[in-house]
Structure 1
């Protein structure tokens, strides 16, 4: 199984947008959607490139709209979604994200629908970067959040951290504003999906599965800012484990600042990742959850039969901000 296939696993489904098309299924219940060849798919992507030039400023979107409508129909078949992902890259997803933010409602709807079906772990960062563009309107941002919601069910721990950070930022913009109820609702739904995500995805890492795409993600302004924010946190480890050197290596390789270790034990006797409730509590929690996912991936996956679930983030009012304590 290739890294690209793994990053897309469990997502070959039609979103509600496509399910509403009338002639997707025949009388025998099988798909009537033709399977596109690699040549056809590459040709469509060339058309997409032309459509995206000028994006929201297009004066005559009719030809672009027809092209997007056709592709939205074809992407009702999982075989075409697979073919799309074999040929796409972050530039293609960026073009779709631009069209999903266009002034024309038809372009916006169809591009957003396509994005929700084809975006995976290797391309999600482009959508997150567009979500955080202050120049798009609330409706476009809401549509793009639907894509983040889909990927939240199977995101790697790196993407999960970026999604949580995006949710935190968008919530700070939306709370207390008029007409933000839908946005706040989808933000909560995304967080719920991340919290209940299957362990196999929490254990996965984009730098390992797709290192080239991970490096490309880090060149995007918002993702680079998230990564910088993570390095600002110092992690202190409290453990009597003999493999503390391994734990240190895991944390530093994950882009965290290692502050040292001791053999103290938690008075309550439990394992946890403590974060501060001071300052930006939600950002502190996002970092702590990333630390928890990272440790669990190396020490508790697959889950040992004789041990309970791994470590989890835990709030602590007495901790200083920008510090995380690992009780292990």
Structure 2
């Protein structure tokens, strides 16, 4: 019982401090506890992941590099951040926090947000996100399930959390993200009204949080596990693919590669993605350099969050 009461007090203190903007001294006076206890409770709230903090990087720290990329690729916004490490896991976390800070700045209404829930970096961004001020009605998954059950669970949890933070209804796409045949896809969709409705909602995306992938099997996924096989990736490389956007392959110029593989994807189409009012992506690291460049050249994203090394590569190859 004492633990439950302490947790309730911790949540109350966290809300007063982070949501209502009260000073610690005022919280202590209101709740009739010491200021030192208020401080300890706030620390405990962070350690328990009840409060997720985001380091807000000042805008335009790398203004010249950002402007160069925006000019070269004719893109609306580029945000370049310093990563503490080139290790992909640490880089993803830095990029995710930068994306979370950017999402928290949205004030315009975004009734329908398309969300690439299988993207590890985007899931980390949602973990770091604070409640958003925008008006959102639905958060719709852009792709069906990819990978093993634990990844599918993480993806669904992230979609649910994102919807909660925006005050929206989550719309899940609980079908395989990649199927083995067009006939299988047609059969699955014919029996799943919810999946068909989710796919129809993607006709009217106000903000698409886009996933960018290298032209190899993602380290978090297994070939053929609701995903493309090694042979399919090899075939696309032979046809000139350098990466993919929401599982749609692109050549170095950002042009889609017409192939039957598009028909095996259960998720957002290239036409739906192109029609989205805004298309944001967060990606970086050597492994994705070519894919990010292709996505920019093809106009598949209009806002990019990336790291310094990737930004410099984009300028050098632009």
TM-score normalized by the length of structure 1: 0.29
Q: Give the number of the structure whose residues are more often strand, by fraction.
A: 2
Considering Cα pairs closer than 8 Å and 6+ residues apart, tell me whether 1 or 2 has the greater RCO. Answer: 2
TM-score normalized by the length of structure 2: 0.30
